[in-house]
Structures are given as C-alpha cells and as structure tokens.
Chain A
Amino acid sequence: MKIEIAGENALIIYFAEQVSVEASGQIQAMTNALQPLVGQSIIDLIPSYASLLVIYDDDHYDYYAMRSLILAQSQALANDAQTRDGKLVTLPVYYGLEAAPDLEELAQKAGLTTDEVIQIHQAQTYQAYAIGFAPGFAFLGEVDPRIAAPRKATPRKAVPKGAVAIADRQTAVYPSVSPGGWNLIGLCPTPMFEPEKTPAMPLSTGDRVQFKAISKAEFLVLGGELPSGEHPYE
C-alpha cells in the first residue's frame, strides 16, 4: 500500500499496480472502514481499479494527520480476517439480435458463433472494479480474452438504457441513454440507477456480478423495453 498526495485536500491510496480481485477486496475493505467518516473528517471516497481517492476536510485535518489515520486503519484491517467478498448480484440479459447490434460482428471477429459469445459472457462472475463515467455506470471485469473487443472507432450518439456492452476486457450495463463506444451484445431489464430509490444502485464496487440469459418474453415481463424507431442503434 502506498499513499500519495492528490490535491490540497485529497490523497490517493494505491493497493496494487495491476487489476486483481485481491486488490479490489482490499480497496473494498478500506472503503467500508472509512465510509462512516464521510460527512465528518472525510468529504468523499472514490474507489477504483487499484486505488482509493480520499477527499478530506482540511479545516480539521492536514495531509499528515489523514495519512496517519489511514495507516492505523490499514493495520486494523490487516488483523481482521473477515471475508472481503462483496455480494453476488445476478443481472438478467436478453441477448437476442434485436437487442445486440454488435453481437454478430464481435462473434465473427473472434471466430466464434454468437451462441458461444453469449455462453462465454455468462460463464463467469465479474468484479465491480469502479463506478463512474455516468451515475450508476459500473466497470465490470475481467472479460474472457476470447470475447474482448476494442471500442468502436465511431462512438454511438445514443446507446439505449440497459445496453450490455464490452470494451477490451471490461463489460458494463449502461444505466441510462448516453453516448458510448462499447460493443453492444444485449439488454438488461434491471434498472442500474434509480435516483428516487435507496440504494439508487443494485451493486457497489467490490460486488460480484453474474449475467444470466433470458428470453424476450422474460425480458418484457421484467420491465425491459426494446429501443424503438427505424435505426435505434445509430
């Protein structure tokens, strides 16, 4: 673990150089340990792939005091053997071609059938490494290298809400309509961000996610909506 200065009232804790489930667990444990201080000595926390940014109240703490607090916390966590696994969240996905404009191309480039891509995508659990880009947008990893695919050269102006997507070795569900360059392989009917609800998101960083294929009928029963219009994915 390494602590570095990020700004006048921010420091960043690095847990590892690379993405790993173990580092993600450590970040999650530290985030949970510091969370009760948010609103007091800590203003906000941003967990990410291998780091945790801590923004603190510099009226009452300076960098060195906050650093000491974190080092002490880290000692306490090291002595605590409790499991660091987040909860397991299952997200249903309708992988039908009308919901998956990039599935055929992705399969073709990978030398697989679309069914194989779908099977590989749901064969494993993913770690929620980071949340950002847009409210409720969780970066999930890591995707099996066989179905990893680079971002599209030209991003779409409007990716539909619920779109399940792949970029490099990451996968995600778009929480709302937004521009985006990821490869779209399905639609998830579970709302990823509901401002009026508590919690507003079904998952947090550190949680694990598994995708489960569903039929079109199930998708619609679960409240999913297919994008409308003549060219919904342009």
Chain B
Amino acid sequence: MNNTTNGVIVKNPGVLALIQDQGRIGQHRIGLTVGGPMDPFAFRWANRLCSNADNTTAIEISIGGFVAEFQQPTQIALTGAKVKATLNNQPIPMWQTVPVQAGDTLKLGFATQGCRIYLAFQGGLPIEPQFGSTATVVREKIGGLHGTALTKEQHLPLTTWQAHSTLMLPFADRPDYENEQPLRVVLGYQAESFSRIDRAHFFSCEYKVSERMDRMGYRLTGTECKSSISSMLSEGICHGAIQLPPDGQPIVLLNDRQTIGGYPKMGAMMARDTARLAQKTQGNSVFFSAVTIQEAHAINVMEKHKEAQIKLLKLK
C-alpha cells in the first residue's frame, strides 16, 4: 500500500497481543466465530481518542508486557485495564491521546486492575481483512497478519500520520473494573431445565473466575447447578451464553467461542456485562442477576443513550 510508511515494530508481544477490529460478522454459516475485542467499550474509546472510526483495526493486549518501537510519528491511545505505561521510560496517561515520535519506545507493565488493554493508532493498522474483518482468531488461524498472535520483532504497518486533536475521556466516564455489580443474564428457555433450588443458587451464590479463562470462554467455579437435560442436539450458541456441562460449573462463552454446542444453558449474559467479565482475572468473584428480555432491551436503550452523551475533552 502506498499510504504506509515506516510503521511500528513489536519488540515484545507480552502475554498475548492480537490484532482486532470489531469482529467478523455474518460468517457463522461456514463455522467462523466473531472474534473482536473482549471489551468492545474500551476498544471503541481507544479508537475515538485517536479520531478513528469505531471499527478501525487496533491491538488487544491481555494482561500486559507489551513493548513496541515506533518507526514514524503518530498518535496513540491506551484504554482498558489499568497498567503502567511508559514512552521512553516516561510515564504516559491512559484514556488520552498521546503523540509519539519516530524512535520512541512504548512499554507496558502488567495490569493491576482489569485484564484487557487496548492500543489504538491514529488511522489504525492498514491490514487486509479476511471474511470482512481483521479480527484475529488464533484457533481458526484467521485474521490479523497470519492468523496468529503478534510475535517478537514483527513489523506492523501504520498509515501516514496526520495532526489531530489531543483528546481525553473524562475521569467520571471511565469504567471501574473492580465494580462488583452482578452480571446480568437474560434467561433462556432451557433455564426451566434447572430445579428452582439450583436456579436460586445460581442467582444468589458467588462464583469465582477459574484459571480457564480465555477468549473462547470463562469457566467459573462455585455452587453446582445441574440441568435435567442429559443429552441434546448441538445448536447455535450466541455471545454470552452460559453453558452448564454435567459437572454443574458454568462456562460463559465469549468472542472466540465455537458456533455450535450441545450443553444446556441458563441463558446469555448481556454484552455490556461480558465486557466487564472479560476484565476479570483468575480468583475474582462474580455474581449473576436474572433479567427479562424486556428489561435487557430497556437497559440497552438507556445505556446507549447515556454513552451518546459522553463528550471527549479536547486538551489541544
């Protein structure tokens, strides 16, 4: 591409760094999952702080340890999990546009609150989409540069830098990843296959995030909850679906989930709450609360209206 110049070099991808846009839509019929950012809200703000459209390609960094060297000037923004970030060893703020120069080194520590960090670049990463999206799904070997996570010394192209405003998301509008509000679940009809007691336990007991927490799904541990359905035909699985396999421990299915499965489900978590769950790490506690489809719809309308009112502050 002739609009690319020198780009950026990944010196260390850290624990897991993936190229993502908002995800791959409309490809379930051939078995492709969605991918995309585990916390789409933080992802969107990273792009908006860089004056980008919401679906611009950026990087999702899980936990941290990411280091990169810029070969050209640009503007970046970091959002999501709280992490110590430096540019040439000088601390830089999150949730704010940061100008960088050729030769600058960006270093991230490890997240101290939350789990998923987003790094956006002004103009985004110019990467060829596959099946309409640049989202990397490692299990499918689809998206990103070669269907893989970022590796050491990998070169990433950037678009030519253009001067844009320096923006900041007001403190009051930033998410609090330690917020322990219950995660809202729309009850599915298979919820009726659990006894009233099991359902009462599910919506009143504490569950903990287990060590099996990845982009496919979060396995939680806590009070057992067993369905009376012993075998069922595999069926389509939506984002946030909560499966309860025979061991009675919930699995919340997330961005890289398989598209079909055959375990009974309690329902599906609302996307704004899967985004919060995806910021939790092993050992964190979570609680569920049940909502009806009408309540979920009303919550989404209200929250979207509130989000539309948020204004980025112009610093320069």
Contact = CB atoms under 8 A, between A and B. Distances in A.
A19 interface: yes
Given A5-B186, A7-B186, A132-B260, A193 B29 contact: no
Interface stretch (B171-179, B212-220, B263-271): B263-271
B258 to A, nearest CB: 6
Interface in B259-287: 259-260, 265, 267-268, 270-271
Contacts of A7: 186, 188, 238-241, 267-268
Interface stretch (A48-56, A83-91, A145-153, A208-216): A48-56
A110 interface: no
State the majority secondary structure of interface residues on A: loop
Contacts, number: 128
Interface string B7-34: 0000000000000000001111111101
Contacts of B189: 4-5
A50 B267 CA distance: 19
B131 A195 contact: yes
B233 interface: yes
B196 interface: no
B117 to A, nearest CB: 26
B31 A49 contact: no
B29 A48 contact: no
B188 A8 contact: no
Interface string B197-211: 000000000000000
A30 interface: no
B232 to A, nearest CB: 9
Interface string A55-73: 1001100110000000000
B233 A49 contact: yes
Contacts of A176: 141
Contact of B28 (A18, A44, A201): A44
22 contacts: A5-B188, A7-B186, A7-B239, A8-B270, A8-B300, A10-B238, A12-B235, A39-B25, A43-B25, A45-B236, A48-B236, A50-B233, A53-B237, A58-B297, A62-B297, A131-B29, A132-B258, A133-B31, A135-B140, A137-B31, A195-B131, A199-B30
Interface of A: 4-10, 12, 18-19, 31, 38-39, 43-53, 55, 58-59, 62-63, 130-137, 139, 176, 193, 195, 199-201, 204-205
